[in-house]
């Protein structure tokens, strides 16, 4: 797991070892490293002075870009099984959309982590053992009025960006 993001001359890297590192993109000098107590499973998302990451154990963090300090945390429902790798957070106006391996999609205010809404992207496919894994398997897609997310079983869900109301779910 893990990945990279770039903003304002800084490269941000996450790792399966539970670290988020900020590096000068020009020379690779490490600016800061924040150790989290869980593997980070996807690339970080950087927006307006914060780095957003999601961990394997269904927690999300907002770190300050200037020093790596934890600004806030968000917890999702525990999950027994999951994929290596995962979906990255997406920014939607004043909110950040957090995709968890439990299948939960959470919108939180990016400035303080206050939960705005939550919805489950759930469902399975008969005859496929991997469909018992509830991971949201792709980065959420955000438009002006909707958020789209998909799980490992092939379910795609559209929800209202404002309040998380489920608009539709495609089974395949």
Question: What confidence score (pLDDT) does residue 126 get?
Answer: 54
Question: What confidence score (pLDDT) does residue 130 get?
Answer: 47
Nearest to 141 by CA among 121, 123, 113, 112: 121
Question: What confidence score (pLDDT) does residue 76 get?
Answer: 84
Q: How far apart are CA 1 and CA 38, in angstroms?
A: 11
Question: What confidence score (pLDDT) does residue 72 get?
Answer: 98
Question: What confidence score (pLDDT) does residue 85 get?
Answer: 61
Q: Give me the tens of pLDDT residue by residue for the chain, a chain 172 residues long.
A: 689 999 999 999 999 899 999 999 999 999 999 999 899 989 999 999 999 999 988 999 999 999 999 999 998 876 555 555 689 999 999 999 999 988 899 999 999 999 999 998 865 555 554 444 557 878 999 999 999 999 877 789 999 999 999 999 987 6
Q: What counts of helices (H) and strands (E) characterise the chain?
A: 0, 16
Q: How far apart are CA 15 and CA 40, in angstroms?
A: 6
Q: Yes or no: say if 87 and 138 are a contact pair by the CB < 8 Å rule.
A: yes
Global pTM reads 0.90
Question: What confidence score (pLDDT) does residue 102 get?
Answer: 86
Question: What confidence score (pLDDT) does residue 47 get?
Answer: 98
Question: What confidence score (pLDDT) does residue 2 get?
Answer: 83
Question: What confidence score (pLDDT) does residue 136 get?
Answer: 83
Give me 87's structure tokens: 């979906």
Tell me the CA distances in angstroms from 49 to 7, 65, 111, 136, 157, one per residue in order: 10, 5, 10, 26, 30
Residues 6+ apart with CB under 8 A from 103: 79, 120, 121, 122, 134, 135, 136, 151
Q: Compute CA 63 distance to the chain's CA centroid, rounded to the nearest angstrom.
A: 13
């Amino acid at each position: 797991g893990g990945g990279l993001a770039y903003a304002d001359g800084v490269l941000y890297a996450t790792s399966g070892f539970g670290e988020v590192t900020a590096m000068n993109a020009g020379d690779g000098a490490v600016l800061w490293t924040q150790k989290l107590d869980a593997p980070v499973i996807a690339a970080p998302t950087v927006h307006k002075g914060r780095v957003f990451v999601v961990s394997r154990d269904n927690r999300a963090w907002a770190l300050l870009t200037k020093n790596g300090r934890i600004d806030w945390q968000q917890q999702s429902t525990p999950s027994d099984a999951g994929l290596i790798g995962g979906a990255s957070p997406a920014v939607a106006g004043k909110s950040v959309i957090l995709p968890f391996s439990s299948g939960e999609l959470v919108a939180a205010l990016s400035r303080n982590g206050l939960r705005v809404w939550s919805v489950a992207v759930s469902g399975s496919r008969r005859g496929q053992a991997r469909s018992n894994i509830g991971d949201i398997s792709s980065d959420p897609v955000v438009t002006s009025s909707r958020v789209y997310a998909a799980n490992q079983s092939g379910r795609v869900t559209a929800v209202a960006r404002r309040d998380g109301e489920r608009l539709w779910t495609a089974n395949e």
